[in-house]
Amino acid sequence: MPQPDHISKLGVPDPAALDEDLQVIWHKCVDKLGFVPNVFSAYSLKPQRLRNFMAMYNEIMLSESGLSKLEREMVAVVVSSANRCYYCLVAHGAAVRMLSGDPELGEMMALNYRVAKLDRRQRAMLDYAWKLTETPWLIDDTDRAALRDAGLTEQDMFDLSETVAFFNLSNRMASATDMMPNREYHRAAR
């Protein structure tokens, strides 16, 4: 039985009818990645929401930070693992494989990050990501102290927390729309 080929259960508008700024982005994606990520297509149902989502995404995942891009992708996958989000695990699992050149690391982040061999700082970051995702109400000074002890600055802690927070948003948009990842992610960097 062939797997689902929808992008979003709430429907996706005709890309040819999108505003010009979005069409430009669509073309750039095809040039660079070979495809338009389905999260953009799903979000294009409400164009201004998409613009805000992309602005926030780019700032959190791609701007300067004390956390490397790989570390931010690792956090993304661990949050998505806690929330069992199919779209984000497939898309950001691929990103971990690509950025690390280590296919097993991607699998470990997606399936159970505790089995991975990590330095103390990364392990502290991922333990925090899991707790802030599952029981945010229990986060207290002890958790912040553990991050400081592992070498994170206040700015790093802000960036880490916002990465966790953002994927708690995007995991829920993906689950809400039954968003399916582009098939290209599955084979990438295996």
Give the total of residues touching a second copy (CB under 8 A). 74
170 near a second copy, judged by CB under 8 A: yes
Residue ranges of the alpha helices (H) in 18-153? Answer: 20-33, 38-43, 47-62, 69-82, 86-100, 103-111, 120-134, 141-149
105 near a second copy, judged by CB under 8 A: yes
Helix (H) or strand (E) holding 163: helix 154-177
184 near a second copy, judged by CB under 8 A: no
- Closest C-alpha to 74, from 26, 48, 17, 113: 113
30 near a second copy, judged by CB under 8 A: no
The token pair at 5 is 């080929």
**Contact letters for a second copy, residues 130-169 (x by CB under 8 A):** --xx--xxxxxx--x---------xx-xxx-xx-xxx-xx
In the complex, the smallest distance separating the C-beta of residue 31 from a second copy, rounded to whole angstroms, is 25
Which residues neighbour 62 within 8 Å (Cβ) at sequence distance 6 or greater? 69
The token pair at 29 is 């994606």
C-beta closer to a second copy: residue 15 or 27? 15
Identified binder of a second copy from the candidate list 61, 78, 91, 116, rule CB under 8 A: 116
Dihedral of CA 8/188/94/35: which sign?
A: negative
Identified binder of a second copy from the candidate list 7, 22, 60, 78, rule CB under 8 A: 60
69 near a second copy, judged by CB under 8 A: no
Identified binder of a second copy from the candidate list 15, 27, 30, 52, rule CB under 8 A: 52
The identity of residue 92, as a single letter, is H
Q: Of the listed pieces 18-26, 27-35, 66-74, 177-185, which binds a second copy according to CB under 8 A?
A: 177-185
| CA atoms of 61 and 159, how far apart (whole Å) | 9
Helix/strand/coil for 164: helix
96 near a second copy, judged by CB under 8 A: no
Identified binder of a second copy from the candidate list 24, 28, 68, 112, rule CB under 8 A: 112
41 near a second copy, judged by CB under 8 A: no
